[in-house]
């Protein structure tokens, strides 16, 4: 007889088993797991493309990749990492944790939850097709535009661009559905007594992120649809010869693209708000100002998009506005970082892997944020723009700000999800290898950019060799270190020391009141929150 | 005060480090224009402020990491967030950050206005900079001179490979120059680090920037906006010379242009060998980036000419695509070339790589096809 159902005790859930459990799942934890597995697969695909890019840039000259394949990889690396790895991983955390944290049995819209996940594999297939189609006879040229897809270059690309446009549509639908679900869940399913201003910051960051997604993803969908029409239906939205405007696409793209940065970062910053108090063994510093900061980051972040386009030639008034608006974002971001450091201050800290990542994030994200302020300053940006300095900057923001936050969250909650403790020793080795090789990879790229190396070039002058060699060596170690992450996660899922309900000594929050792993319907009776 | 015995080695070490840094390139190259110098200063001020802030944050975090540890028996202060500092930090921190922000924005503002406000009150030299896939065209509007600037192969460029061109952008020092940026196909960006700025070349737009070069020399840059396959092969090389030397250079260019026009305009009938001799270098210069020196192209983006329907079919069709380009592809209209140049290129393409059609296309035929 089935022993699996027995271990669930009194939950008469009649859940499907086998492959149906996953395909037909309406359970927030199973769907969360699906999201996380999907993200992990995509992480390795995106990582493989990054390592190919760095292999080509290891030495000057064209060794490994033809220029169009190189550009194709540059495009795919970005899209896979953003839409395939980071966003689904953050959605996986949301699915797993939001019901546990607010005392709900499940997400508010379980069937839509299933749909929003299962659109993703289809979208990923489209994305991969856009990459491989040019290698088949009649497949047209490769996507050599970068993820920004600027016309007129994107109008020259073959049918692979159409696959990509539909992939973006599907990814967008998935994100918007997931966002609606998260907003409805947070607003309607909270336990009695949990007012909005008693919610964990992680839940707050996802509420803000979900609103951001609903506001900006349709703009991207509109932009790429106009691109599709320009390509096939004779319109001239972005064609100057037909009365259109190539710069309009840039505005549409970055109206989505800049808030997207905050979409990637905010959930991870929410994870920090859980981890730092736990391991500092004292309450979060400045809860209300953190909530305010998150809302301010999202609001101001939505109206400063054109700082990605200082070199197109806007009016003096426009560039001044975008410069000052962008610099102003440092206020809520600075407040956020300050609150986390103040939470550590006078704490009784211990440094398990999640906390190690949290500290690394605070230091490196601050560094990335400060180069961001430098980039916001128009006169200097006229020099930095489209150089390797920008590549270094956004990897310093997105890896610590988003990816490391997700790693921290996975290590923090993995014992809760699986019921097993992960191997702390291996995890610490992973942390040190990962963080050091990350810095070896990206720190030298600042110098490359300042010295004049443009980004997205397949071949470079010998004067840029030294730092590129260092960067590539770092990248190979960084990329391979994730195999250790995979090993640790698989090992923890398969077994290990039993985790208690309250895994961490200093942990606080509803999720730690449920056993590890939590029952099938997380909170069958809502807890009372004081 | 006597210098400590360690000062000297330390200083020389610093000297070596700076020399090595200069070679490795860890910062902007020394600016060569008036505004470029100001941009450099803004960069240094902002970077200094950012570094100070970084040191502050690192300092607080590291202090906390060392002292506030459970393993040291530090008791967690459970009421820190309820102190006056906890109550008012949400005001104090933003005010401090705002102060820093205004300092940065203030220092940038004056330079920003100087960059954006192109001087209008005086005579300026006008230079139109046109980005093409994958070369630069410079039109000296005041002098009726045009320069086509293309990447050169590694055997000729040597150590400056990817930062060397066949024809440099020659510019006078101590002259206010207005750059007019545009593109013939996709977006590009004109970037010479010594000038301190870059500007996108966008089809349908004319962007305006300006510079006054303060020192003679050769300044190298690259296209900075992804523009397709050979984005890496769009170097920009500026040769800044004295105004006198520049005037001489303009005269030379004009003489070359007159001679070329006379040659192309004559009604001379050219032999196949003469056209092939002219056609091969022209093909290498203008066509081989896409269609490759061996004529095999890089399908599917850049079709082969070797054995192709166009290059072995009717001459009229071949001339049409060369003169008018092909919509929706990277193939541009080459109608700016003179009749002789096009005749030579087409003749070469129809006879090279085993395309042995035996056709000889005369300049008169090109003229008729325009």
Where residue A12 falls among pLDDT bands split at 50, 70, 90? low
Q: Which residues contact A420 (CB under 8 A, 6 or more apart)?
A: A414, A492, A493, A495, A496, A497, A498, A499
Q: Classify residue A188 by its DSSP letter.
A: H
Per-residue pLDDT of chain B (370 residues; tens, 9 = 90+): 344 444 444 444 444 444 444 467 788 999 999 999 999 999 999 999 999 999 999 999 999 999 999 999 999 999 998 999 989 999 999 999 999 999 999 989 999 999 999 888 778 999 999 999 999 999 999 998 999 999 998 888 888 999 999 999 999 999 999 999 999 999 999 999 999 889 999 999 999 999 999 999 999 999 999 999 999 999 999 999 999 999 999 999 999 888 888 887 777 888 888 888 888 888 888 888 888 888 888 877 788 888 888 888 888 888 888 888 887 777 888 888 888 888 888 898 888 888 888 888 888 888 888 8
Query: What is the per-residue pLDDT across A407-437, written as a single tens digit (0 to 9) for each?
Result: 999 999 999 999 999 999 999 999 999 999 9
| Mean of pLDDT values over A445-465 | 94
Q: Residue A349 above 80 pLDDT?
A: yes
The confidence score (pLDDT) of residue B302 equals 83
Domain count, chain B: 3
Query: Do B255 and B271 share a domain, yes or no?
Result: no
Query: Do B129 and B253 share a domain, yes or no?
Result: yes
Confirm if A201 and A225 have CB atoms less than 8 A apart: no
Indicate whether A94 belongs to any domain: yes
Q: Residue A4 above 50 pLDDT?
A: no
Give the number of other CB atoms < 10 A from CB of residue A1.
Answer: 5
Tokens representing B162 are 């990817």
**Residue among A408, A370, A347, A400 nearest B57 (CA):** A370
Of B241, B260, B279, which one is at a domain's C-terminal end?
Answer: B260
Spell out which residues of chain A touch residue B61, defining contact as CB-CB under 8 Å.
341, 344, 359, 362-363
Confirm if A150 and A247 have CB atoms less than 8 A apart: no
Compute the distance between CA of residue B149 and CA of residue A338 in angstroms, rounded to an integer.
52
> Is B57 in contact with A366 (Cβ distance < 8 A)?
yes
| Min Cα–Cα distance to chain B from A185, Å | 30
Confirm if A208 and A294 have CB atoms less than 8 A apart: yes
Nearest to B108 among A349, A379, A456 (CB): A379
Indicate whether A483 belongs to any domain: no
Give the number of other CB atoms < 10 A from CB of residue B339.
Answer: 19
List the single range of A178-187, A231-240, B259-268, B309-318 with lowest mean pLDDT: B259-268
| Mean of pLDDT values over A215-224 | 97
This prediction has a pTM of 0.90
Compute the distance between CA of residue A210 and CA of residue A192 in angstroms, rounded to an integer.
23
Query: Do B282 and B192 share a domain, yes or no?
Result: no
Phi, then psi, of B138 in degrees rounded to 5 = -115, 120
3-state secondary structure of A302: coil
Which H or E element spans position B180?
strand B176-183
The confidence score (pLDDT) of residue B22 equals 46
Pairing of β B207-212 and β B176-183:
antiparallel
Compute the distance between CA of residue B331 and CA of residue B327 in angstroms, rounded to an integer.
7
Give me the residue label for tokens 């309900």. Answer: A501
Which residues constitute the domain of residue B93?
21-116
Closest A-chain CA to B329: A156
Pairing of β B217-222 and β B235-241:
antiparallel
The confidence score (pLDDT) of residue B39 equals 93
Indicate whether A282 belongs to any domain: no
Indicate whether B101 belongs to any domain: yes
Spell out which residues of chain A touch residue B204, defining contact as CB-CB under 8 Å.
240-241, 245-246
The confidence score (pLDDT) of residue A166 equals 96
Spell out which residues of chain A touch residue B196, defining contact as CB-CB under 8 Å.
379, 382-383
Compute the distance between CA of residue B220 and CA of residue B211 in angstroms, rounded to an integer.
16
Share of chain A above pLDDT 70, in %: 97
State chain A's mean pLDDT as an integer: 94
Indicate whether B319 belongs to any domain: yes
Spell out which residues of chain A touch residue B208, defining contact as CB-CB under 8 Å.
313
Q: What is the ipTM, given to two decimal places?
A: 0.90
Q: How would you classify residue B162: left for phi > 0, otherwise alpha for psi between -120 and 50, otherwise beta?
A: left
Query: What is the per-residue pLDDT across A363-387, written as a single tens digit (0 to 9) for each?
Result: 999 999 999 999 999 999 999 999 9
Query: Do B131 and B248 share a domain, yes or no?
Result: yes
Closest A-chain CA to B20: A466
Indicate whether B97 belongs to any domain: yes
Query: What is the per-residue pLDDT across A456-507, written as a single tens digit (0 to 9) for each?
Result: 999 999 999 999 999 999 999 999 999 999 999 999 999 989 999 999 999 9
Tokens representing A447 are 């110098």
The confidence score (pLDDT) of residue B4 equals 42
3-state percent helix, strand, coil for chain A, nearest multiple of 5: 75, 0, 25
Cα distances (angstroms) measured from residue A33 to each of A411, A482, B54, B356: 14, 18, 38, 64
Indicate whether A393 belongs to any domain: no
Indicate whether A153 belongs to any domain: yes
Domain count, chain A: 1
Indicate whether B13 belongs to any domain: no
Which residues constitute the domain of residue A186?
26-199
Compute the distance between CA of residue A238 and CA of residue A241 in angstroms, rounded to an integer.
9
Confirm if A461 and B163 have CB atoms less than 8 A apart: yes
Strand partners, B69: A349
Q: Residue A48 above 60 pLDDT?
A: yes
Compute the distance between CA of residue A450 and CA of residue B131 in angstroms, rounded to an integer.
23
| Mean of pLDDT values over A37-48 | 97
- Number of helical H runs and strand E runs in chain A: 19, 0
Query: Do B215 and B315 share a domain, yes or no?
Result: no
Query: Do B250 and B131 share a domain, yes or no?
Result: yes
Indicate whether B3 belongs to any domain: no
Strand partners, B209: B179
Give me the residue label for tokens 């460029």. Answer: B157
Query: Do B161 and B206 share a domain, yes or no?
Result: yes
| Min Cα–Cα distance to chain A from B3, Å | 34
Confirm if A238 and A145 have CB atoms less than 8 A apart: no
Compute the distance between CA of residue A222 and CA of residue A168 in angstroms, rounded to an integer.
11
Spell out which residues of chain A touch residue B94, defining contact as CB-CB under 8 Å.
331-332, 334-335
Spell out which residues of chain A touch residue B97, defining contact as CB-CB under 8 Å.
330-331, 334-335
Q: Classify residue B233 by its DSSP letter.
A: G
Which H or E element spans position B240?
strand B235-241
Indicate whether A84 belongs to any domain: yes
- Pick from A78, A240, A383, A468 the residue to mutate for testing the B interface (most B CBs within 10 Å): A383
The confidence score (pLDDT) of residue A412 equals 97
Tokens representing B111 are 């330079």
- B99: exposed, middle or buried (Cβ count in 10 Å: 0-12, 13-18, 19+): exposed
Q: Which residues contact A383 (CB under 8 A, 6 or more apart)?
A: A450, B28, B39, B43, B193, B196, B197, B198
Give the domain CATH number at B354: 1.10.760.10
Indicate whether B5 belongs to any domain: no
Closest B-chain CA to A360: B61
**Residue among B103, B94, B7 nearest B49 (CA):** B103
Confirm if B349 and B283 have CB atoms less than 8 A apart: yes
Query: Do B139 and B212 share a domain, yes or no?
Result: yes
Confirm if A147 and A72 have CB atoms less than 8 A apart: no
Query: Do B286 and B221 share a domain, yes or no?
Result: no
**Residue among A139, A134, A125, A162 nearest A66 (CA):** A134
- Pick from B32, B202, B236 the residue to mutate for testing the A interface (most A CBs within 10 Å): B202
Compute the distance between CA of residue A267 and CA of residue A210 in angstroms, rounded to an integer.
10
Of B84, B116, B148, which one is at a domain's C-terminal end?
Answer: B116
The confidence score (pLDDT) of residue B294 equals 86
**Residue among A131, A111, A227, A237 nearest A178 (CA):** A111
Of B216, B245, B260, which one is at a domain's C-terminal end?
Answer: B260
3-state secondary structure of A17: coil
Which H or E element spans position A204?
helix A201-232
Which H or E element spans position A317?
helix A316-328
| Mean of pLDDT values over A169-197 | 96
Q: Quick check: bond before B297 cis, omega within 30?
A: no
Compute the distance between CA of residue B200 and CA of residue A311 in angstroms, rounded to an integer.
6
Confirm if A114 and A36 have CB atoms less than 8 A apart: no
Q: Which residues contact A317 (CB under 8 A, 6 or more apart)?
A: none
Nearest to B232 among A67, A247, A323 (CB): A67
Where residue A347 falls among pLDDT bands split at 50, 70, 90? very high
Indicate whether B2 belongs to any domain: no
Give me the residue label for tokens 């070469």. Answer: B348
| Min Cα–Cα distance to chain B from A135, Å | 9
């Amino acid at each position: 007889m089935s022993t699996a159902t027995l271990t669930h005790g009194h939950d008469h859930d009649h859940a499907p088993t086998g492959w149906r459990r996953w395909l037909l799942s309406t359970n927030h934890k199973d769907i969360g797991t699906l999201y996380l597995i999907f993200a992990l697969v995509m992480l390795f695909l995106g990582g493989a493309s990054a390592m190919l890019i760095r292999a080509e840039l290891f030495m000057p000259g064209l060794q490994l990749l033809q220029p169009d394949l190189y550009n194709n990889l540059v495009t795919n690396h970005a899209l896979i990492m953003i839409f395939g790895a980071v966003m689904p991983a953050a959605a996986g955390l949301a699915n797993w944790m939001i019901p546990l944290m607010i005392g709900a049995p499940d997400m508010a819209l379980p069937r839509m939850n299933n749909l929003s996940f299962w659109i993703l594999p289809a979208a990923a297939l489209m994305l991969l097709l856009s990459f491989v189609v040019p290698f088949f006879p009649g497949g047209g040229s490769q996507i050599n535009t970068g993820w920004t897809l600027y016309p007129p270059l994107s109008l020259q690309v073959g049918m692979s661009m159409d696959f990509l446009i539909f992939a973006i549509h599907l990814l967008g639908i998935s994100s918007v559905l997931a966002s609606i679900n998260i907003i409805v869940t947070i607003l309607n399913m909270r336990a009695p007594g949990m007012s909005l201003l008693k919610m964990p910051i992680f839940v707050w960051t996802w509420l803000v992120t979900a609103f951001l997604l609903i506001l900006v993803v349709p703009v991207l969908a509109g932009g790429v649809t106009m691109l599709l029409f320009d390509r096939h239906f004779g319109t001239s939205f972005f064609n100057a010869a037909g009365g259109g405007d190539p710069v309009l696409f840039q505005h549409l793209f970055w109206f989505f693209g800049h808030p997207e940065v905050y979409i990637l970062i905010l959930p991870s910053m929410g994870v920090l708000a859980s981890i730092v108090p736990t391991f500092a063994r004292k309450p979060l510093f400045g809860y209300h100002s953190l909530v305010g900061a998150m809302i301010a980051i999202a609001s101001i972040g939505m109206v400063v998009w054109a700082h990605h386009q200082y070199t197109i030639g806007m009016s003096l008034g426009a560039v001044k506005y975008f410069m000052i608006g962008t610099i102003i974002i440092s206020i809520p971001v600075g407040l956020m970082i300050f609150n986390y450091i103040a939470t550590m201050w006078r704490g009784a800290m211990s440094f398990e892997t999640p906390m190690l990542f949290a500290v690394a994030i605070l230091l490196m994200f601050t560094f990335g944020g400060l180069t961001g302020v430098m980039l916001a300053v128009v006169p200097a940006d006229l020099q930095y723009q489209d150089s390797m300095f920008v590549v270094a900057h956004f990897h310093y923001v997105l890896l610590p700000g988003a990816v490391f936050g997700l790693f921290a969250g996975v290590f923090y909650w993995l014992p809760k999800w699986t019921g097993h403790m992960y191997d702390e020793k291996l995890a610490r080795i992973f942390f040190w290898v990962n963080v050091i090789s990350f810095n070896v990879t990206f720190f030298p790229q600042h110098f490359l950019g300042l010295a004049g190396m443009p980004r997205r070039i397949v071949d470079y002058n010998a004067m840029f060799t030294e730092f590129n060699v260092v960067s590539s060596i770092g990248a190979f170690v960084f990329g391979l270190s994730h195999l250790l992450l995979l090993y640790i996660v698989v090992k923890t899922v398969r077994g290990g020391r039993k985790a208690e309900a309250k895994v961490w000594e200093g942990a606080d929050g509803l999720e730690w009141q449920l056993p590890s792993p939590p029952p099938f319907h997380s909170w069958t009776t809502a807890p009372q929150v004081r | 005060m006597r210098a400590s015995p360690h000062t000297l080695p330390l200083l020389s070490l610093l000297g070596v480090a700076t020399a090595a840094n200069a070679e490795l390139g860890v910062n902007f190259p020394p600016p060569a224009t008036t505004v470029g110098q100001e941009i450099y200063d803004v960069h240094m001020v902002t970077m200094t402020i950012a570094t100070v802030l970084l040191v502050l944050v690192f300092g607080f975090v590291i202090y906390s990491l060392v002292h506030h540890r459970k393993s040291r028996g530090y008791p967690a202060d459970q009421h820190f967030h309820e102190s006056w500092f906890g109550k008012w930090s949400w005001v104090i921190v933003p005010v401090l950050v705002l102060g820093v922000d205004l300092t940065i924005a203030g220092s940038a503002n004056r330079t920003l206005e100087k960059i954006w406000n192109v001087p209008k009150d005086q005579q300026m030299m006008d230079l139109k900079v046109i980005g093409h896939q994958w070369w630069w065209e410079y039109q000296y509007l005041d002098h009726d001179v045009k320069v086509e600037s293309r990447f050169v192969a590694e055997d000729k460029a040597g150590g400056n490979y990817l930062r060397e061109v066949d024809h440099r952008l020659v510019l006078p020092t101590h002259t206010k120059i207005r750059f007019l940026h545009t593109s013939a196909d996709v977006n590009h960006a004109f970037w010479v680090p010594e000038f301190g700025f870059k500007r996108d070349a966008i089809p349908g737009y004319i962007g305006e920037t300006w510079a006054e070069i303060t020192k003679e020399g050769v300044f190298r840059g690259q296209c900075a906006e992804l523009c397709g396959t050979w984005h890496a092969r769009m170097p920009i090389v500026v040769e800044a010379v004295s105004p006198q030397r520049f005037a001489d250079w303009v005269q030379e260019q004009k003489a070359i242009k007159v001679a070329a026009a006379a040659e192309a305009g004559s009604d001379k009938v050219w032999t196949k060998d003469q056209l092939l001799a002219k056609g091969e270098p022209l093909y290498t210069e203008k066509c081989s980036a896409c269609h490759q020196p061996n004529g095999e192209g890089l399908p599917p983006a850049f079709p082969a000419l070797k054995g192709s329907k166009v290059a072995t079919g009717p001459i009229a069709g071949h001339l049409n695509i060369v003169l008018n380009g092909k919509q929706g592809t990277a193939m541009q209209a080459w109608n700016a070339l003179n009749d002789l140049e096009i005749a030579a290129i087409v003749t070469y393409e129809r006879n090279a790589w085993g395309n042995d059609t035996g056709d000889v296309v005369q300049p008169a035929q090109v003229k008729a096809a325009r």
